[in-house]
Amino acid sequence: MLSRSGVPTKKQLEAVKPAPERLAQGPVVIVECFQEIPCDPCYTSCKSGCFLPFEDINDLPRMDLDQCNGCGTCIGACPGLAIFMVDETYSETEALVTIPWEFRPLPVEGSEVTGLDREGKALIPVTVRKVRPSARKNGAYLLTLVVPKEYAFEVRSIKN
Amino acid sequence: MYNTEILVIGGGPAGLKASLSAAEKGALVTLVERDGHLGGQLVKQTHMFFGSKAQYASERGFNIATKLGGQVAAHPRINVLKNATALGYYEDGVVSLEVEKRFETISFRAMIMATGAQENTLLFPNCELPGIYGAGAVQTLMNVHGVVPGRRVAMVGAGNIGVIVSYQLLQAGVQVPAIIEALPEIGAYHVHASKVRRMGVPIYTSHTVLTAHGRERVEKITYAQIDQNRQPLPGTERELEVDVLCIAVGLTPLTEILFQAGCRMDYIPELGGHVPLRSDTFETSVPGIFIAGDAGGIEEASAAMVEGSIAGLCAAAKLGYGLDAYPGALAAARRELDALRNGPAGKHIRSGLEKLAAPGEVKG
Amino acid sequence: MRIYNHPLLEFKKGEAITFQFDGETIEGYRGEPIAAALHAAGVRTLSHSRSYNRPRGFWCAIGNCSSCNMRVNGVPNVRTCVEPLQEGMIVETQTGRGELDV
């Protein structure tokens, strides 16, 4: 249970997983936000209309994922670092997974690191494709990792 | 003797916003801060804030501190006294101060208490060994002074402070082998907990520290699972080697001056301890003394900022400033505060506030 | 130990200086709290308790609790977690309440 373990349940994660048709179109955000807290910068930061207006600031975010253009702005705006991006169109066998990262040293582009799951357990080696600063230019970075497709919804952190 | 119209005690988020709010309406404000810099606990917060744009969502706490501190320093009607500790309150509307080690006094027409809170302690054998520190202390050491607290730090408490400081320890290159929480559930925002879980930090709910071990400093702790009566379950004891143990078990409002001034106080556990009774305009039972932020009830920085704005607005109005816009401005600020509190995350605060009667009302 | 490569924070320090701690020369930065400089140098025990002579370090680190009281330049009960470090300060561990030389 999320409130005991700090880790979202399978059911919660299923609810925010985009439909296969959308995943087949290109990069799309995965918003792993499951608790009603007063917070709405995902909505205010999005320029493509993917996030719908909040009626009450405590609402969970609602998305129209067809509007998501994969820009990643919301990943750097989310104070909970709860937004990730998956691009299943990268290759036949691999997906790109983009995660927020606020640690040093930064991994080197092209290097191999260990992909970790939501409990920090080592899963598989992944390659760091891109390291870019968050649009907010506040010390956070977005790491884009090349991940075997079957792990695209498991890898959410790395060991550098 | 200093003279001012509105004395604000405490230069953290509530006090900074109170000063700006009152000064904007035309009042002369003196802000007294015991530290050498403004910002209170904001300066140590490296995470992005929640809330909405009005409460600086997505901005890092220390950047908000710089922004607000800059606005206050630049304001022509705000006089800031740093390294200035308020010592006592006297019936003739005078507060005594220690300013840069000199004794001073200040007279005022209204006062806003924004003194924040202090960390709670936890009692267990050897709890006073060097290396056993409050979580705020570890945060201060790391984020203000740039000193590594230890190599291997266990955290007691999975509220927002415990989990946030654990994450900050990881950012400082420190190992966090465990977060130990007595309650069956994590009190922190779940997203804060998820951040540290995916870096490999385990969170043990329904667990508590039994003993610390060490001669000159903490070297090891024994912790165990507990039942619903908080009794350790035999056979679940485990040992953990640490060189620092961080205690994040809640905050208590800093209220000595309110007691001294004769404000009616009540003990409300949901708000962290003794807090002053206050009206809708954040005025305590002593006319002219207002309250804002954690000193009135433990909550969040976002709420402290909005409360500070309201208290500043109301204190200024009491002195006759900003009366035209007052009803509208007060209503808007109250709506902002209520929006922050009305969700499930605000349940605890709301039930605490309901228990507090307004001054003049007799509590049944 | 000092933090050198923090992801988000820069630490502006005053001039590097030295001071005395129980007869030893220690390095620190002007203006930082004495207890921070001591901690960076590996010193954890700041005083000993009155009745049982138990080691004490700091607790709150912002001047609320008095756990960090030490003798500084002959003056007892200085809250070292907030007292700014100066060049050549003589800092000593204190046992119990401390004594004032009059």
Q: Strands B110-113 and B6-9: what pairing?
A: parallel
Residues B125 and B87 in one domain: no
* Domain that residue A69 falls in: 2-159
Residue B360 lies in a domain: no
Instruction: Tell me the C-alpha distance between B307 and B286, whole Å.
Output: 18
Residue B324 lies in a domain: yes
Residue C68 lies in a domain: yes
Residues B219/B240, Cβ–Cβ less than 8 Å: no
Residues B95 and B59 in one domain: yes
Residue C28 lies in a domain: yes
Residue C42 lies in a domain: yes
Minimal Cα–Cα distance from A83 to chain C, Å? 20
Residues B216 and B266 in one domain: no
Residue C78 lies in a domain: yes
User: What are C21's strand-pairing partners?
Assistant: C24, C91
Is B172 an interface residue toward C (CB < 8 Å)?
yes
Residue B125 lies in a domain: yes
Examine the predicted complex and report whether its ipTM is higher than 0.85.
yes
Q: By a Cβ cutoff of 8 Å, what residues of chain C touch chain B?
A: 1-3, 5-9, 11, 13, 32-33, 36, 39-40, 44-46, 49, 54-65, 67, 81-82, 84
Residue pairs between chains B and C whose CB atoms are closer than 8 Å: 94
Residue B362 lies in a domain: no
Residue B364 lies in a domain: no
Residue B56 lies in a domain: yes
Q: What is the pLDDT of residue B38?
A: 97
Count of domains observed in chain B: 2
Domain of C36: which CATH number? Answer: 3.10.20.440
Residue C22 lies in a domain: yes
* Domain that residue C26 falls in: 16-95
Is B140 an interface residue toward C (CB < 8 Å)?
yes
For residue C4, the chain A residue with the least C-alpha distance is A104
Residue B156 lies in a domain: yes
Q: What is the pLDDT of residue A94?
A: 98
For residue C29, the chain B residue with the least C-alpha distance is B145
User: What is the tens place of the pLDDT at every residue in A101-147?
Assistant: 999 999 999 999 999 999 999 999 999 999 999 999 999 999 999 99
Neighbours, chain C (3 or more CB pairs < 8 A): A, B
Instruction: Establish whether the linkage from the previous residue to A105 is cis, with ω within 30° of 0.
Output: yes
Residues in chain C: 102
Count of domains observed in chain A: 1
Residue C3 lies in a domain: no
Q: What is the pLDDT of residue B362?
A: 46
The residue behind tokens 């003394």 is B289
For residue C3, the chain A residue with the least C-alpha distance is A104
Tokens of B323: 């009366």
Instruction: Tell me the C-alpha distance between A123 and A150, whole Å.
Output: 11
Domain of B307: which CATH number? Answer: 3.50.50.60
Q: Strands B78-81 and A122-133: what pairing?
A: unpaired
Q: What is the pLDDT of residue B360?
A: 52
* Domain that residue B255 falls in: 2-118+251-355
Minimal Cα–Cα distance from A102 to chain C, Å? 6
Q: What is the pLDDT of residue B361?
A: 54
Instruction: Tell me the C-alpha distance between B273 and B195, whole Å.
Output: 30
Count of domains observed in chain C: 1
Residues B224 and B278 in one domain: no
What counts of helices (H) and strands (E) characterise chain A?
Answer: 5, 7
Asked if A82 and B199 come within 8 Å (Cβ–Cβ), the reply is no
Asked if B136 and C39 come within 8 Å (Cβ–Cβ), the reply is no
Residue C58 lies in a domain: yes
Residue C4 lies in a domain: no
Instruction: Tell me the C-alpha distance between B108 and B103, whole Å.
Output: 17
Q: What are phi and psi of A31, to 5 degrees?
A: -100, 95
Q: What are phi and psi of C95, to 5 degrees?
A: -110, 125
Last residue of a domain, one of B221, B247, B273: B247
Crossing angle for the helix pair B135-143 and B160-171, to the nearest 10 degrees: 30
Residue B363 lies in a domain: no
Asked if A121 and B201 come within 8 Å (Cβ–Cβ), the reply is no
Q: Is the pLDDT of residue A49 over 50?
A: yes
User: What is the tens place of the pLDDT at every residue in B259-316?
Assistant: 999 999 999 999 999 999 999 999 999 999 999 999 999 999 999 999 999 999 999 9
Asked if C59 and B137 come within 8 Å (Cβ–Cβ), the reply is yes
Tokens of B282: 């954040």
For B199, how many CA atoms within 13 A lie in the half-sphere containing its CB? 26
Residues B267 and B279 in one domain: yes
Dihedral Cα C29, C35, C40, C41, nearest 10 deg: 90
Residues B339 and B241 in one domain: no
